[in-house]
Structure 1
Amino acid sequence: YSYFIRQFVQDIRSVPLDEVVYNKQLSTAYSFLTKDGANILTARMEAENRVQKLHNATVQVTINSVIPMEGGKSYQVRWSEVEYRAGAGKKEVTPYTGVFTVEQIKTDDKEKLAVNPLGLYIKDLRWERDTETKTTPDQKNDQQTKTPVN
């Protein structure tokens, strides 16, 4: 399930330059959600107004880990998002942690099987920024070069 969850997180959190690619990513992601999962994702996307970034920034996602949780149906995912703002020349790196619950649903529906042949669906998804603050590479370098004053 690790590959499946990695790809799902990439699809819902990445923001490319191309709006057509962005819409295809989301469409693909929604085909791997149960109705409850789709409702959760829709509410989250609306709250974050992620579409607004489409013309102002790009976001690249790096998955750091996918770890099965007790029971085997939920997975903890840690990732970082690197946001490049148009014309700013700087980037922000934001770490996230999420929990995704997977369910396997068998179907005879040929359309669903063509898109999701294994019948893997995410029925619950939650994520939040890690407690670290956002950093830019300049801030990270500044923090590393400062020495404590006694």
Structure 2
Amino acid sequence: MILSTYPKHVLQEEGSVDENGNIVEGFEESVFKQCKVNGACGYYTYLQGTSMASPHVSGVAALIVSKYGKKTRDGLGLDPVKVERQLYRAATERACPEPRLQTYTNEGRDAEFNAYCAGDAKFNGFYGHGIIDAYAAVTTRM
């Protein structure tokens, strides 16, 4: 799970933040609020899935290009196959959780959100090829 920004109005529609921007009782462990001195507040919650994995892997790919890429007149570039290989090198295999069927009804979601993890540690439906380590991606030799 990834701690991510979350729109206040969506949290209000879901009922986890009240009309004054305060976190509603019962959501204190899943919704977080941080305010600046000027009163501007940001809201955060944990999210999961490809919507969270894709931007993280894209960011790590950009770090790889910035570290190992070559300058050209068009900018910085690196063969995509090399980037992909480096991503795999920097990923730690992760087996499916037990039990393999993850239920989310205890979070108030319908059973249609339940998910079964198929595959092994090398590749599965929850972790793909593993969990990326951004630091390893830019410190491991290509």
Choose between structure 1 and 2 for higher RCO, CA contacts under 8 A separated by at least 6 residues. 1
Common fold: TM-score over 0.5 = no
Q: TM-score range by the shorter chain?
A: under 0.3
TM-score w.r.t. length of structure 2: 0.25
What TM-score do the two structures reach when normalised by structure 1?
0.24
Greater helix percent: which structure? 1
Q: Which has the higher strand share?
A: 1
Greater radius of gyration (CA): 2
